[in-house]
Amino acid sequence: MMMMMMMMIIIIIIIIIVIEILKYKDLTIEIQRMWNVKTRVIPVIIGATGTIFKSFRKYVSDIPGNHDVKELQKTAILGTAHILRKVLT
Protein backbone atom coordinates (compact mmCIF):
# COMPACT_ATOMS: atom_id res chain seq x y z
CA MET A 1 0.00 0.00 0.00
CA MET A 2 2.79 2.42 0.94
CA MET A 3 4.77 1.52 -2.18
CA MET A 4 1.72 2.21 -4.35
CA MET A 5 1.29 5.62 -2.70
CA MET A 6 4.95 6.51 -3.35
CA MET A 7 4.61 5.50 -7.00
CA MET A 8 1.54 7.74 -7.36
CA ILE A 9 3.42 10.68 -5.83
CA ILE A 10 6.36 10.16 -8.19
CA ILE A 11 4.01 10.00 -11.19
CA ILE A 12 2.29 13.22 -10.10
CA ILE A 13 5.65 14.98 -9.71
CA ILE A 14 6.73 13.88 -13.20
CA ILE A 15 3.42 15.09 -14.66
CA ILE A 16 3.85 18.50 -12.98
CA ILE A 17 7.36 18.90 -14.42
CA VAL A 18 6.23 17.89 -17.91
CA ILE A 19 3.28 20.31 -17.78
CA GLU A 20 5.57 23.16 -16.71
CA ILE A 21 7.99 22.44 -19.57
CA LEU A 22 5.19 22.16 -22.16
CA LYS A 23 3.61 25.39 -20.92
CA TYR A 24 6.60 27.35 -22.22
CA LYS A 25 7.15 25.41 -25.46
CA ASP A 26 5.49 28.08 -27.64
CA LEU A 27 7.60 30.81 -26.04
CA THR A 28 10.75 28.76 -26.61
CA ILE A 29 9.94 28.34 -30.31
CA GLU A 30 9.13 32.03 -30.70
CA ILE A 31 12.41 33.12 -29.06
CA GLN A 32 14.37 30.70 -31.26
CA ARG A 33 12.78 32.10 -34.40
CA MET A 34 13.03 35.78 -33.45
CA TRP A 35 16.58 35.81 -32.09
CA ASN A 36 18.10 32.79 -33.87
CA VAL A 37 19.41 31.31 -30.60
CA LYS A 38 19.11 27.95 -28.90
CA THR A 39 16.76 27.95 -25.93
CA ARG A 40 15.95 25.47 -23.19
CA VAL A 41 13.25 25.41 -20.52
CA ILE A 42 14.62 24.74 -17.05
CA PRO A 43 11.85 23.80 -14.58
CA VAL A 44 12.41 25.55 -11.25
CA ILE A 45 9.41 24.77 -9.08
CA ILE A 46 9.26 25.71 -5.39
CA GLY A 47 6.18 24.89 -3.32
CA ALA A 48 4.37 27.48 -1.20
CA THR A 49 6.04 26.09 1.91
CA GLY A 50 9.49 26.00 0.29
CA THR A 51 9.40 22.35 -0.74
CA ILE A 52 11.54 21.38 -3.72
CA PHE A 53 11.99 18.32 -5.94
CA LYS A 54 15.06 16.12 -5.58
CA SER A 55 16.25 17.27 -9.01
CA PHE A 56 15.84 20.98 -8.11
CA ARG A 57 19.53 21.56 -7.33
CA LYS A 58 20.54 20.05 -10.68
CA TYR A 59 18.19 22.35 -12.58
CA VAL A 60 19.30 25.44 -10.62
CA SER A 61 22.96 24.61 -11.32
CA ASP A 62 22.14 24.73 -15.07
CA ILE A 63 21.18 28.42 -14.71
CA PRO A 64 24.14 30.81 -15.07
CA GLY A 65 25.05 32.73 -11.93
CA ASN A 66 25.20 31.96 -8.24
CA HIS A 67 21.90 30.81 -6.72
CA ASP A 68 21.42 29.85 -3.08
CA VAL A 69 18.68 27.22 -2.74
CA LYS A 70 17.92 28.24 0.85
CA GLU A 71 17.40 31.86 -0.23
CA LEU A 72 15.02 30.75 -2.99
CA GLN A 73 13.06 28.67 -0.49
CA LYS A 74 13.00 31.56 1.97
CA THR A 75 11.62 33.85 -0.76
CA ALA A 76 8.85 31.35 -1.53
CA ILE A 77 7.87 31.06 2.15
CA LEU A 78 7.90 34.84 2.66
CA GLY A 79 5.76 35.28 -0.45
CA THR A 80 3.26 32.75 0.88
CA ALA A 81 3.18 34.52 4.26
CA HIS A 82 2.57 37.85 2.51
CA ILE A 83 -0.36 36.44 0.53
CA LEU A 84 -1.86 34.85 3.65
CA ARG A 85 -1.57 38.10 5.62
CA LYS A 86 -3.38 40.00 2.87
CA VAL A 87 -6.15 37.41 2.62
CA LEU A 88 -6.67 36.89 6.36
CA THR A 89 -6.75 40.57 7.40
pLDDT at position 21: 82
Q: Does pLDDT of 85 surpass 90?
A: yes
* Nearest partner of 71 among 37, 44, 36, 89, judged by Cα: 44
Q: How many domains does the chain have?
A: 1
What single letter denotes the amino acid at residue 34?
M
**Cα dihedral sign, 27-55-59-62:** negative
Residue 50 DSSP symbol: S
**Domain limits at 73?**
2-88
Q: What is the mean pLDDT of the chain?
A: 87
Give the residue-averaged pLDDT of 27-52: 90
Percent of the chain with pLDDT over 90: 39
